[in-house]
Amino acid sequence: MPRSASLCACCILILAATMAAEPVLPAADEPEPITVLQPFIDNHALAGAVTAVISRDRLLSLEAIGKADLAAGKPMTTDALFWVASMSKPMTATALMMLVDEGKVHLDDAVEKYLPEFRGQMLIAHQEEGQLILKKPAHPITVRNILTHTSGLPFSSRIETPSGYKADLFPLATAVIGYALTPLKTEPDSAFAYCNAGINTAGRIIEVVSGVPYETFMAERLFKPLGMVDTTLWPDDAQLQRLAKSYRPNAGKDGLDEIPIDQLTYPLGNHRRGPSPAGGYFSTAADMARFARMILCGGAVDGHRYLTQESLREMTSTQAGGRLNDPSRGNGYGFGWFTDAKSIEGAAAPAAPCGHGGAYNTDLHVDPARGLAVIFMVQHNGWALGGEHARPTYEKAAVEAFQAK
C-alpha cells in the first residue's frame, strides 16, 4: 500500500495525544502498514477501506486503502466518513446505561413506565391469511427486552416500510408510536429477534427521561466528551465531501456498482430526516476508535467516567445467549452488543469481548483480553469475489501485528 494512504507519523502523534493520557508512540515506532486488504482492492472485491487498531492507551494504526469514489478516482483518506448503520446500537445502549447508572432508568421496568403509549400492547396469538387473533402477553416488554432484542417487537413498523424500509421517515416520538401500535410477534423473553424497533424505543426513553432530544443527549454526554467530532445523524456539507461512496456487486459479480444508501432518505444533511438510534449515525474510523477505547478502559478515559464498570460488564455480557448462530461473533447478545457467550460467564473484567457491524459492512470489535479494538470501515451492500473475507483477514492480521505491543 502506498505510504500516502496511511496516516503520517506526525498525524499519529497528534491524534494519539488527544486520545491517551499515557505517553504517545514515538515517531520511530510508527507501525508498518497492514497490507492484507490490497488483494481485495486489486480484484475489485473492495472499493476502499479505512481501518484502525487501538489499545487502552494509544492509537496503534489508522490507515486508508483503495478509493472513496471509484468513478472519480478519488483515493480513500483516513478522515473519510461512513454510514455506520447498526454500529449506532452500542452507542445508543451506552447512553441509556448512563441513565441506568444515575438511577433514572431501571432495566427490568416495563417500557410503558417511561412511554405510556405502550400500555395495552398485544401479542399475535394466531395469524393466517385474512385472520389475526391477538392476546395479552405474559408481561409487558421491559427495558432489558428492547436492549437485547427479546421484546417480540418486529424489525420495524408498517409506517416505516411504505416501499422498502426507511429508517428516517419520522420524528422519534412518531416512530415509537408505530411500534407501540404493532402487535408483538413472540412473547417477551421467549426468543431473540434482531430489530431496529427496540433500540429506537430505547432512544426515545433517553429523550423522555433526560428531557432533551435524543441527538442532543448523545452529543453532549458521549460524543463531545470523547472527542468524536464527526459522529452525526446529519452530515454537514464539509462532511458530505468526505463521505465514501457506497457499492454493491454488479450483475455479473465481477465488479462493483455505485448505489445510494437505501435505508435513508436524501438529502442526507436535511434535519427533517428523523433520527434512528438503531442505525442512523455517520462516523469515521478515528471517532469509532475513541468510543472503542472507552469500552476497553472499563468505561472511563482521560479522567472522565462514562459508565460504571458494573454497567459496562452487564452491557457487554451475554443476555440473550444460545439463540444466535454467528461464529464470527460468538453466540450471544448483550445490551446493544454481540457477545462471546463462551468467555463471559463469571468474567471479572469490566468489559467482555463484544462487537457490532453495520448494514454496509462497517465493523467494530473490542477484545479486552488482548487489550485491542479493531475498526473496519467500508461501504459495501453485499459481497462478491471473496470480499466477505476482507474483514476477518484484516482482523487476524491486526491481532498478529499488535497483540504483543
Task: Note the pLDDT tens digit of each residue in 194-226.
Answer: 999 999 999 999 999 999 999 999 999 999 999
Domain boundary among 195, 215, 235: 215
| pLDDT for the residue 4 | 40
292: nearest Cα among 362, 238, 361:
362
Is 220 inside any structural domain? no
Confidence of residue 364 (pLDDT cuts 50, 70, 90): very high
Confidence of residue 350 (pLDDT cuts 50, 70, 90): confident
Q: Is the pLDDT of residue 298 over 60?
A: yes
Is 23 inside any structural domain? yes
Residue 243 and residue 372 in one domain: yes
Residue 60 and residue 203 in one domain: no
Q: Is the pLDDT of residue 345 over 60?
A: no
Q: Is the pLDDT of residue 343 over 70?
A: no
Confidence of residue 2 (pLDDT cuts 50, 70, 90): very low
Our count of domains for the chain comes to 2
Cβ–Cβ contacts within 10 Å for residue 136, how many?
11
Q: Mean pLDDT, to the nearest integer, of 284-312?
A: 96
- List Cβ neighbours of 45 (8 Å cut-off, separation of 6 or more): 383, 384, 385, 386, 387, 390
175: nearest Cα among 201, 206, 150:
201
Domain boundary among 157, 188, 215: 215
| pLDDT for the residue 196 | 97
Which residues is 355 bridged to in the sheet?
A: 338, 365
Q: Is the pLDDT of residue 156 over 80?
A: yes
Cell numbers at 8, concatenated: 503520517
Q: Which domain holds residue 107?
A: 92-215
Residue 253 and residue 235 in one domain: yes
Report the percentage of the chain scoring pLDDT > 90: 79
* DSSP-assigned letter for residue 228: -
Is 305 inside any structural domain? yes
Q: Is the pLDDT of residue 323 over 60?
A: no
- List Cβ neighbours of 350 (8 Å cut-off, separation of 6 or more): 298, 299, 309, 312, 313, 368
Give the domain CATH number at 99. 3.40.710.10
Domain boundary among 215, 237, 255: 215
Q: Is the pLDDT of residue 11 over 60?
A: no
Residue 115 and residue 183 in one domain: yes
Is 16 inside any structural domain? yes
Cell numbers at 148, concatenated: 437485547
CA distance 203 to 51: 28
Confidence of residue 403 (pLDDT cuts 50, 70, 90): confident
Helix (H) or strand (E) holding 214: helix 214-218
Q: Mean pLDDT, to the nearest integer, of 308-313?
A: 94
Cβ–Cβ contacts within 10 Å for residue 12, how many?
23
Q: Is the pLDDT of residue 330 over 70?
A: no
Q: Is the pLDDT of residue 379 over 60?
A: yes
Residue 48 and residue 150 in one domain: no
Handedness of CA 23, 25, 28, 29 (dihedral sign): positive
Cβ–Cβ contacts within 10 Å for residue 150, how many?
25
Residue 176 and residue 254 in one domain: no
* DSSP-assigned letter for residue 220: I
Helix (H) or strand (E) holding 355: strand 354-357
Report the percentage of the chain scoring pLDDT > 70: 87
Residue 68 and residue 141 in one domain: no
Which residues is 126 bridged to in the sheet?
A: 133
Is 12 inside any structural domain? yes
Q: Mean pLDDT, to the nearest integer, of 120-124?
A: 96
Cell numbers at 201, concatenated: 424505543
Residue 207 and residue 166 in one domain: yes
CA distance 270 to 233: 10
Average per-residue pLDDT in the chain? 89
Residue 239 and residue 338 in one domain: yes
Residue 238 and residue 319 in one domain: yes
Handedness of CA 133, 136, 137, 138 (dihedral sign): negative
| pLDDT for the residue 22 | 40
CA distance 351 to 348: 8
Residue 297 and residue 350 in one domain: yes
Q: Is the pLDDT of residue 9 over 80?
A: no
Q: Is the pLDDT of residue 129 over 60?
A: yes
Is 21 inside any structural domain? yes
Helix (H) or strand (E) holding 127: strand 123-128
| pLDDT for the residue 29 | 59
Is 11 inside any structural domain? yes
273: nearest Cα among 238, 233, 236:
233
| pLDDT for the residue 320 | 79
Is 221 inside any structural domain? no
Residue 310 and residue 180 in one domain: no
Least confident range from 88-92, 93-97, 330-334, 370-374: namely 330-334
Radius of gyration of the chain (CA): 21
